[in-house]
C-alpha cells in the first residue's frame, strides 16, 4: 500500500522470526515502518498501564475490593450516547468466532452468522507463523481472493453474503518477541492491529463494511483511551475518516465491570458495543481475589451465568450499553456439537439453546457461537425473541446492581471430578497451545486460553488458599495435584494424540505455575517463553 513518505517514521520494526513464503507481502518495509510508528507513539503508555494493573492487583491482594470510581461520577451520570452504529453492525444476532486459519475463516464467513470475529487472541496460539499466516488469510478474505483446498481435495471459497468481519487483536499484556523496535519487543496488540489495519482498513472502508475490532481484556478506561488514540493515529496515517474504525469491547475483567460507562465514553466516537466475555471474566474474578479466601470459586462446571455475580454483571452490561446506544453482546456457551451420539448431541444443543434464551430474554442484542453447526441453534432463539435487528430499546430500568452483587461470593462445591478435570484440561490445553493450536475440543467442550486459565487458576487457588477439602472430607493438597498431573501426563503420552510429545513440557510448566507462591498473571505469558 502506498503511504506518503512524510508519514513514514524513520525507523522500521525489525523482524526476528523466521518468515515463510508470502510473509514478505505482509511484513513490507512500509508496514514495518507503520508498526514502528505505533510503537514509538504508544508503547510507553501501554507499559505504564500494565504497571497500573500490577499496582491495582497489589491493592486487591492487600484486601481492597474493586468498586466504582469516584473520579468519574460525571461520566457515569452524564447524558451522552455513542456515535451512530454503521449499517453493517446494526444486526449482530449471531456472531461466530474462531482462529485465523484459512479453512476456518472461509467456513466462518459462509456460516450464516451475521458477524465473524477473527481471533488472534483466546483461540490462537501466537506462534509467529500463526499470526502472520493469519494476516495473509485475512488480507485474502478482505480482497475476496481467499480459497483453500483440503488435503482430501475439498475446495473452499467464500459464498455470497459472507459474515461481517471483526478482528480481535491480542490483549495489551502479550509481547510479540519476533518484531522489535530499537531492540524492544513490540506489543502483540499493536502488531495484530497494525498489520491488519495497514493492509485492509482502506479496502474495507471503501466498501459497505469497515475496519471493525473486538478489544480484549481491558481493565480500565485509560486502556480504552489508549486504543482510541491508537486507532485515531492509524486513521490519520492511512488517510481514513476519523472514527471509521469501530470497536466492541469485551468486558471480561472484574475491574472493567466497574468502568463500563467510562470505557464506552473513552471510545464514544467509535464504540459500538460491549460483550460479556464470561470465561475471562471468571478467570479475572479468580485472579482479582487470589488472596481472598472468602471468595473461592467452586468447580468451574458450577460457575454458570445464572450464579449471582455473573447475572449481575451481564444485566448491568445490558443496562449500561442500552443507556448509551451501544450493543450488549452475549458470550460463548462452551458446548460444541457431539458427533456419533445423538442423545449427547441433543443435550449439548439444549444447553446452548438455554444459554441463548437467557441472553435474548435478558436484553442482549446478539451472541457468540463457537462452531458453524451452532449458528442455526442460536439464530432460531434470537429470531423468535428478537424480531427487530437489536433490542436497544430494552432499557432494563429494573436492574439496580450494586458493588456487592458484582463481587458476591459463589456457593457450590469442590469435587474430586472437578479437580481432576481442571488438571486434565489445563494439561491438554497447554500441550496443544505449545504445539501451536489455541482452541481444542476436550470432552466435547470448547477449550481456549480463557477456559484453560480458569482451570489452572482454580487449582492454584484451591491449593494455596486452603486447607480445603472435598465434600467427602478428603484433603485437597499438593500431593493430590502431583498425582493427578502425573496420571494425566502419562495418559496424554500414551494417547497417540498429535500433541503427546508436548505432554512433559506442558506438565512441567503447570507444575511450576501451580506450586508457585503467587498466582501467575497469565498462563499464556509464561507459556509464550516456550512457544516455538
Ligand atoms: C472464551 C473465548 O474467547 S470464545 C472465542 C474463542 N474460541 C473460539 O473461537 C472457538 C472456535 N472453535 C473452534 O476452534 C472449533 O470449533 C473447536 C476447536 C472447538 C472444535 O473444532 P473441530 O473439532 O475441528 O470441529 P468439527 O470437527 O466439528 O468441525 C467441523 C467443521 O466445522 C469447521 N469449524 C469448526 N469450528 C469452526 C469455527 N469456529 N469457525 C469456522 N469453522 C469452524 C471445521 O473447520 C470443520 O470444517 P470442515 O467440515 O470443512 O472440515
Ligand atoms: O473472550 C471471551 C471470553 O469469554 O473470555
Ligand atoms: Mg476472553
Cβ pair 495, 487 in contact under 8 A: no
- Say how many Å lie between the CA of residue 447 and the centre of ligand 1: 11
Alpha carbon nearest to ligand 2 atom 3, residue: 277
Counting from 1 in the atom list of ligand 1, the atom nearest the Cα of 117 is: 9
Q: Which of 43, 50, 59 is nearest to 525 (CA)?
A: 50
Q: Which of 409, 414, 122, 426 is nearest to 280 (CA)?
A: 122
Please state, in angstroms and rounded to a whole number, the distance separating the CA atoms of residues 55 and 485.
33
Q: Which of 400, 401, 451 is nearest to 430 (CA)?
A: 451
Which secondary-structure segment (H or E) carries 116?
Answer: strand 115-119
| DSSP codes, 334-387 | -B---TT-HHHHHHHHHHHHHHHHHHHHHT-SEEEESSGGGHHHHHHHHHHH--
Cβ pair 189, 172 in contact under 8 A: yes
CATH T-level assignment (fold) for domain 413-528? Malate Synthase G; Chain: A; Domain 4 (1.20.1220)
Confidence at residue 2, expressed as pLDDT on a 0 to 100 scale: 52
- Say how many Å lie between the CA of residue 26 and the centre of ligand 1: 26
Predicted TM-score (pTM) of this structure: 0.97
Please state, in angstroms and rounded to a whole number, the distance separating the CA atoms of residues 410 and 171.
27
Q: Note if 168 is an active site residue.
A: yes
Active-site residue (options: 168, 170, 353, 502): 168
| Cell numbers that stand for 95 in this block | 456472531
Name the residue of 155, 446, 451 whose CB sits within 8 Å of the most ligand 1 atoms, as the mutation to test its pocket.
Answer: 446
| Cell numbers that stand for 423 in this block | 488438571
Cell 471430578 identifies what position?
A: 417
Q: Which residues contact 384 (CB under 8 A, 6 or more apart)?
A: none
484 lines ligand 1 (CB under 6 A): no
- Say how many Å lie between the CA of residue 320 and the centre of ligand 3: 20
370 lines ligand 1 (CB under 6 A): yes
- Say how many Å lie between the CA of residue 278 and the centre of ligand 3: 7
C-alpha angle 302/96/271, rounded to 5°?
Answer: 95
Q: List beta partners, residue 476.
A: 468
Please state, in angstroms and rounded to a whole number, the distance separating the CA atoms of residues 293 and 296.
6
Sign of CA dihedral 137, 139, 141, 143: negative
Counting from 1 in the atom list of ligand 1, the atom nearest the Cα of 116 is: 40
Q: In which residue ranges of the chain is CATH 3.20.20.360 found?
A: 19-405
Rounded to 10°, the helix 342-362/375-385 angle is 40
450 lines ligand 2 (CB under 6 A): yes
Task: Please report, in tens digits, the pLDDT of each residue of the chain (532 residues total).
Answer: 555 544 445 678 999 978 889 999 999 999 999 999 999 999 999 999 999 999 999 999 999 999 999 999 999 999 999 999 999 999 999 999 999 999 999 999 999 999 999 999 999 999 999 999 999 999 999 999 999 999 999 999 999 999 999 999 999 999 999 999 999 999 999 999 999 999 999 999 998 899 999 999 999 999 999 999 999 999 999 999 999 999 999 999 999 999 999 999 999 999 999 999 999 999 999 999 999 999 999 999 999 999 999 999 999 999 999 999 999 999 999 999 999 999 999 999 999 999 999 999 999 999 999 999 999 999 999 999 999 999 999 999 999 999 999 999 999 999 999 999 999 999 999 999 999 999 999 999 999 999 999 999 999 999 999 899 998 899 999 999 999 999 999 999 999 999 999 999 999 999 999 999 999 999 999 999 999 7
Please state, in angstroms and rounded to a whole number, the distance separating the CA atoms of residues 43 and 11.
15
Confidence at residue 5, expressed as pLDDT on a 0 to 100 scale: 47
CATH T-level assignment (fold) for domain 19-405? TIM Barrel (3.20.20)
Name the residue of 219, 280, 317, 335 whose CB sits within 8 Å of the most ligand 2 atoms, as the mutation to test its pocket.
Answer: 280
Ion ligand 3 — residues with CB under 5 Å?
A: 122, 252, 277, 280, 450
332 lines ligand 1 (CB under 6 A): yes
Alpha carbon nearest to ligand 2 atom 1, residue: 277
Q: In which residue ranges of the chain is CATH 1.20.1220.12 found?
A: 413-528
Confidence at residue 9, expressed as pLDDT on a 0 to 100 scale: 52
Burial 429-440 (b: 16+ CB within 10 A, else e): bbbbbbbbbbbb
Alpha carbon nearest to ligand 1 atom 36, residue: 371
User: In degrees rounded to 5, what are phi and psi of residue 185?
Assistant: -65, 145
Please state, in angstroms and rounded to a whole number, the distance separating the CA atoms of residues 227 and 221.
10
Q: Write the DSSP symbol of residue 469.
A: E
Runs of H (alpha helix) within 62-165: 73-77, 102-109, 128-143
Please state, in angstroms and rounded to a whole number, the distance separating the CA atoms of residues 448 and 64.
30
Cβ pair 198, 30 in contact under 8 A: yes
Please state, in angstroms and rounded to a whole number, the distance separating the CA atoms of residues 523 and 513.
8
| Cell numbers that stand for 33 in this block | 515502518
Name the residue of 152, 170, 253, 371 whose CB sits within 8 Å of the most ligand 1 atoms, as the mutation to test its pocket.
Answer: 371
Q: Note if 353 is an active site residue.
A: no
| DSSP codes, 303-335 | --TTSHHHHHHHHHHHHHHHHTT-EEEEEE--B
Confidence at residue 208, expressed as pLDDT on a 0 to 100 scale: 84
Q: List beta partners, residue 14.
A: 180
Sign of CA dihedral 227, 305, 280, 109: negative
| Cell numbers that stand for 263 in this block | 470505557
Amino acid at each position: 500500500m502506498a503511504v506518503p513518505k512524510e508519514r513514514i517514521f524513520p525507523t522500521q520494526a525489525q523482524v526476528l522470526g523466521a518468515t515463510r513464503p508470502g510473509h514478505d507481502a505482509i511484513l513490507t518495509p512500509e508496514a514495518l515502518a507503520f508498526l514502528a510508528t505505533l510503537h514509538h507513539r504508544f508503547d510507553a503508555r501501554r507499559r505504564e498501564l500494565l504497571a497500573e494493573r500490577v499496582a491495582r492487583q497489589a491493592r486487591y491482594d492487600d484486601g481492597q475490593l474493586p468498586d466504582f470510581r469516584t473520579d468519574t461520577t460525571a461520566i457515569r451520570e452524564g447524558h451522552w450516547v455513542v456515535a451512530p452504529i454503521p449499517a453493517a453492525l446494526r444486526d449482530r444476532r449471531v456472531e461466530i468466532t474462531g482462529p485465523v486459519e484459512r479453512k476456518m475463516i472461509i467456513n466462518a464467513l459462509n456460516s450464516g452468522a451475521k458477524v465473524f470475529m477473527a481471533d488472534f487472541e483466546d483461540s490462537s496460539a501466537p506462534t509467529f507463523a500463526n499470526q502472520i499466516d493469519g494476516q495473509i488469510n485475512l488480507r485474502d478474505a478482505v480482497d475476496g481472493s481467499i480459497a483453500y483446498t483440503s488435503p482430501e481435495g475439498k475446495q473452499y471459497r467464500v459464498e455470497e453474503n459472507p459474515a461481517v468481519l471483526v478482528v480481535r487483536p491480542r490483549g495489551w499484556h502479550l509481547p510479540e518477541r519476533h518484531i522489535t523496535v530499537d531492540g524492544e519487543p513490540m506489543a502483540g496488540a499493536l502488531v495484530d492491529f497494525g498489520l491488519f489495519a495497514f493492509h485492509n482498513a482502506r479496502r474495507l472502508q471503501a466498501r459497505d463494511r469497515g475496519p471493525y475490532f473486538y478489544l480484549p481484556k481491558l481493565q480500565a478506561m485509560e486502556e480504552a483511551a489508549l486504543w482510541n488514540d491508537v486507532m485515531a493515529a492509524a486513521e490519520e496515517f492511512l488517510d481514513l475518516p476519523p472514527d471509521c474504525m469501530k470497536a466492541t469491547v469485551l468486558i471480561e475483567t472484574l475491574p472493567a465491570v466497574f468502568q463500563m460507562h467510562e470505557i464506552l465514553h473513552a471510545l464514544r466516537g467509535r464504540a459500538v458495543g460491549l460483550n460479556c466475555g464470561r470465561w475471562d471474566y471468571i478467570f479475572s474474578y479468580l485472579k482479582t481475589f487470589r488472596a481472598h479466601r472468602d471468595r473461592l470459586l467452586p468447580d468451574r462446571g458450577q460457575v454458570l451465568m445464572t450464579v449471582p455475580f455473573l447475572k449481575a454483571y451481564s444485566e448491568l452490561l445490558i443496562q449500561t450499553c442500552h443507556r448509551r446506544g451501544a450493543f450488549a453482546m452475549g458470550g460463548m456457551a462452551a458446548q460444541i456439537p457431539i458427533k456419533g451420539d445423538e442423545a449427547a448431541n441433543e443435550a449439548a444443543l439444549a444447553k446452548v439453546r438455554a444459554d441463548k434464551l437467557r441472553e435474548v430474554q435478558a436484553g442482549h442484542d446478539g451472541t457468540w457461537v463457537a462452531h458453524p453447526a451452532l449458528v442455526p441453534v442460536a439464530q432460531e432463539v434470537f429470531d423468535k425473541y428478537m424480531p427487530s435487528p437489536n433490542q436497544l430499546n430494552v432499557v432494563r430500568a429494573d436492574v439496580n446492581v450494586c458493588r456487592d452483587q458484582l463481587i458476591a461470593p459463589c456457593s457450590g462445591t469442590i469435587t474430586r471430578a472437578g479437580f481432576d478435570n481442571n488438571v486434565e484440561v489445563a494439561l491438554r490445553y497447554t500441550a496443544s497451545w505449545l504445539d501451536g493450536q489455541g482452541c481444542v475440543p476436550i470432552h466435547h467442550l470448547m477449550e481456549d486460553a480463557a477456559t484453560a486459565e480458569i482451570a489452572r487458576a482454580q487449582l492454584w487457588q484451591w491449593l494455596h488458599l486452603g486447607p480445603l477439602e472435598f465434600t467427602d472430607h478428603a484433603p485437597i493438597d499438593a500431593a493430590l495435584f502431583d498425582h493427578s498431573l502425573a496420571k494425566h501426563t502419562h495418559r496424554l503420552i500414551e494417547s497417540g494424540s498429535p500433541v503427546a510429545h508436548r505432554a512433559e513440557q506442558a506438565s512441567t510448566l503447570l507444575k511450576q505455575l501451580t506450586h508457585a507462591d503467587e498466582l501467575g498473571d497469565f498462563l499464556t505469558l509464561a507459556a509464550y517463553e516456550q512457544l516455538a
